Amino acid sequence: MSDYILTYSKIKFFPLEPVKKDIKIEDIAHSLSLMTRANGHCSQFYSVAQHSIHCFKEAKSRGYSEKVQLGCLLHDASESYISDLTRPVKRNLPEYSAIEEKLQSIIYEGFGLGDLSDEEREQIENVDDTLLHYEFEELMDFAIFDTPPELATQHDFSQRDFASVEQELLFIFNSVYKVR
């Protein structure tokens, strides 16, 4: 058994020893468009890519910098290479968290986000948690927070074709990344 995965673009990717040049937005967009949020426990298929797009749009509506907007779009990119674990499991597997943090850092570096400040990281995390609340409310009829966080724009959580989500993520990335 090898220590690599074969990505959508046919790159041999070593998740435990990631190389920046092997990280491709096309692989990230394709993979995340096929991965479901909440470990598949939603009322319908809702992808990590849709979540990422909504995080980008929320950051943009809040007037956050293009750097934070791009960070929101890519904040779950590591999942395209190592999947995700539910929060209760992840909390009990510090080795997984270390692998995820290392990979996400390399992804951020590869796309010019290696110098995110603590404030920018906090903005990304806040947007992520805000979307988590509204996704669970809409797709699982469950409120994560007792007091709903403030939402800057409305989001459509309906089921979408994965290919259109993949293309939208790529379009957004290309429009924001060119500016950086």
Main-chain phi, psi angles of 146, to 5 degrees: -65, -40
Q: Quick one: which of 22, 77, 23 has its CA closest to 49? A: 77
Beta pairing class for 12-13 and 5-6:
antiparallel
**pTM of the prediction?**
0.96
Q: Is the pLDDT of residue 13 over 90?
A: yes
Q: Which amino acid is at 53?
A: I
Query: Count of domains in the chain?
Result: 1
Q: CA–CA separation, 55 vs 139, rounded Å?
A: 16
Which pLDDT score, from 0 to 100, does residue 1 have?
A: 53
For position 28, what pLDDT does the model report? 98
What CATH number does residue 152 fall under? 1.10.3210.10
User: What is the rounded distance in angstroms from the CA atom of residue 116 to the CA atom of residue 71?
Assistant: 9
Q: Tokens representing 157?
A: 């959580």
Helices 66-74 and 48-61: crossing angle in degrees, nearest 10, is 160
Chain segment 20-73, per-residue pLDDT in tens: 999 999 999 999 999 999 999 999 999 999 999 999 999 999 999 999 999 999
What's the pLDDT tens digit per position in 121-149? 999 999 999 999 999 999 999 999 999 99
The pLDDT-based confidence of 87 (bands split at 50, 70, 90) is confident
Domain extent, residue 27, equals: 5-177
